[in-house]
C-alpha cells in the first residue's frame, strides 16, 4: 500500500509524464486551504528532487499568496487509467513571476503561452505513493482551448490588467506579489 521516498523514483517520473492532470495544495498559517487542478503542458520534472510548474492566469492566485506566508506545497497525481496509484510530492517552492530576471531561463522549459504568470520551482522533500483503488476510471478527451483563447482575446496588456484587477490578493485577503 503506502510507501515513502526521499525523492522521485524513475517509475514515479514515468507515471507523472503519463498524467494529463495534477493537483496543487497550499495553505497560509490561517484561512482556507487551496487545492487546484492543473493541466495543459505546465509541468516539468527536472530531477528526482525538482519540479517546475508554470502557472497560467486564473481567477485566483492562492498559491502565490500562500507561499509568501508559509512555504510549503504538495503536488498530487492520481491514475484514472489502469495503474491504481496516488502519488504526492511534498516540498517547498521558489516563485518566479513573468517580470523576474530568471523568468526566461525557467520559462524556456515550456512552449510559449500567453497568460503564463508564475513558475514555481518545487524542491521535493518527501514523496509518498498510495493505492488508488477507489479512484474511478476516466478517459482523457483533450485539453480545453478556453484559457488560451481567453488570453489571446485579452492580449498581453489585457492579461496584465486582469492580474492587477483580480490577482492582487487571495480569497482570505493575503497579498500576492503582483504590484498594482
What single DSSP character describes residue 51? E
Domain extent, residue 37, equals 3-166
- Rounded CA-CA distance 90/123 in Å is 8
User: Into how many domains does the chain fold?
Assistant: 1
Q: What is the CATH classification number for the domain harbouring 8?
A: 2.30.110.10
| pLDDT level of residue 178 (50, 70, 90 thresholds) | confident
Is 84 part of a structural domain of the chain?
yes
| Cα atoms in the 13 Å half-sphere on the side-chain side of 89 | 26
State mean pLDDT over 26-34.
97
Is 81 part of a structural domain of the chain?
yes
| pLDDT level of residue 1 (50, 70, 90 thresholds) | low
* pLDDT, mean over the chain: 95
**Of 149, 176, 161, 147, which is closest to residue 34 (Cα–Cα)?**
176
| pLDDT value, residue 177 | 84
pTM to 2 decimal places: 0.95
Element (H, E) at 165: helix 146-166
Amino acid at each position: 500500500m503506502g510507501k515513502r521516498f526521499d525523492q522521485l523514483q524513475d517509475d514515479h517520473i514515468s507515471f507523472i509524464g503519463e498524467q494529463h492532470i495534477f493537483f496543487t495544495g497550499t495553505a497560509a498559517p490561517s484561512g482556507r486551504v487551496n487545492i487546484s487542478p492543473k493541466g495543459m503542458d505546465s509541468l516539468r520534472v527536472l530531477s528526482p528532487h525538482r519540479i517546475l510548474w508554470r502557472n497560467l492566469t486564473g481567477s485566483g492566485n492562492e498559491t502565490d499568496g500562500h507561499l509568501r506566508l508559509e512555504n510549503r506545497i504538495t503536488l498530487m497525481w492520481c491514475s484514472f487509467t489502469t495503474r491504481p496509484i496516488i502519488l504526492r510530492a511534498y516540498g517547498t517552492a521558489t516563485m518566479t513571476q513573468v517580470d523576474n530576471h530568471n523568468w526566461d531561463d525557467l520559462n524556456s522549459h515550456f512552449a510559449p503561452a500567453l497568460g503564463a504568470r508564475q513558475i514555481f520551482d518545487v524542491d521535493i522533500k518527501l514523496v509518498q505513493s498510495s493505492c488508488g483503488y477507489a479512484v474511478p476510471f476516466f478517459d482523457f478527451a483533450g485539453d480545453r482551448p478556453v484559457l488560451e483563447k481567453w488570453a489571446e482575446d485579452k492580449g498581453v496588456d489585457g492579461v496584465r490588467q486582469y492580474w492587477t484587477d483580480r490577482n492582487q490578493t487571495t480569497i482570505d485577503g493575503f497579498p500576492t506579489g503582483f504590484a498594482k
